[in-house]
Amino acid sequence: MNKVEFLRRLSKTLDNIPAVEKNDILFDYEEHFNIGMEAGRTEEEIAQSLGDPYILSKQINVNYMINKAEKTATAGNVLKAVLASVGLGFFNLVFVLGPFLGLVGVLIGIWGVSLGLTFSGIILFIATIFRPMLPFIINIPVSFFTSIFLSIGLTSLGLLVTIGCYYLTKSFHKITVRYLKMNLQIISNYKGLT
């Protein structure tokens, strides 16, 4: 494969990357060809040493998605980075997607518990306040003050767990990005892409 063919294939598969960055990447690979040809190598030798443009573009796309997830901490960016990483091979399907989905499920569960505790405390407080006015509808089998303190305790516990969930979610984001970078580095070294 010659320089034009290599760059065309690479360009065609870099669809997730903005045009400015895509042009920079293509310019860098064009420079590889220029430097190699100045050293007396043929375009075919250089293309072969660079590797398959399809695999290179997958690695570049994953790297871009991971950097985007690192800079802009949104659930969508992290999910896109994980899914892009899964596309690098079966290994990632098992060792990236599986644990990621499991941990996301646990995180969603903890958020659910925190919101459940908070809202149950608020509802208990409201029910306790309206219990004297609606005794035939609201039946709380403990005293007024016990019910008030229990509602304050539940709401406070829910808010504390919510704060903990916030920091846990931030940590999960950072750890996920770090893990994806490490995974990409391992795969790049294994496939000889670096």
Task: Give the DSSP per-residue string, 15-52.
Answer: -SS-HHHHHHHHHHHHHHHHHHHHTT--HHHHHHHH--
Give the model's pLDDT for residue 91. 72
Position 193 confidence tier, pLDDT thresholds 50, 70, 90 = very low
Contact 49, 3 (CB under 8 A): no
C-alpha torsion 120→125→128→131, nearest 10 = -80
Domain ranges of the chain: 85-191
- What DSSP character marks residue 94? I
Torsions phi, psi for 153 (to 5 deg): -65, -45
- Return the half-sphere exposure (C-beta side, CA atoms, 13 A cut-off) of residue 137: 8
Contact 67, 21 (CB under 8 A): no
Task: For residue range 82-115, list pLDDT tens digits in order.
Answer: 888 887 777 777 778 888 899 999 999 999 999 9
Tell me the per-residue pLDDT of 39-94, one tens digit each, with 9 for 90 and over. Answer: 998 889 998 888 888 888 888 988 899 999 999 889 888 988 888 888 777 777 77
On whether the CB atoms of residues 124 and 156 are closer than 8 A, the answer is no
